[in-house]
Amino acid sequence: MKHDLHVIHELLAHAAQTAHRSTASEIQGLEGHDASDTNRHLHLLMRKGLVAGKPAAAPDGPHIIHGLTEEGRTFLRAIRSDKVRGKIRSVSETVGDKMSFEIMMEIAKAFLMDGL
């Protein structure tokens, strides 16, 4: 699966906003993005431990989001920077579909630590 950094950023930002509310949030897709692609990305973020929540019970059902984990907050902090997103996109274009999500996270963390 090719990772769409824009979708990931939007999903993490949505989860961060959910954490400030007293109730969980349901999400079934993002406006302007393919619903199945959005759902795959959200499921990935939950599986990798960045978003706390419950995956959809049905393929087209809503995911329940409770908020971000510490790892999710760190990754969101890193990819909020246009420079960091640009660096990740540059590496992704070079590596292609072979770039794993873990590598994307490590690149973002490295740039965050370097203060880029």
Q: Which residues contact 27 (CB under 8 A, 6 or more apart)?
A: 11, 14, 38, 42, 62, 63, 65
pLDDT at 62: 78
pLDDT at 114: 76
pLDDT at 73: 92
pLDDT at 68: 92
- CATH numbers and ranges of domains, the chain: 5-114 (1.10.10)
pLDDT at 2: 75
- Ordered per-residue pLDDT tens for the chain, 116 residues: 678 888 899 999 988 887 666 566 777 667 788 878 888 888 899 999 999 988 877 777 778 888 899 999 999 998 988 888 888 888 888 887 778 888 888 888 888 777 65
Name the 3-class secondary structure at 56.
coil
pLDDT at 19: 65
Contact 84, 108 (CB under 8 A): yes
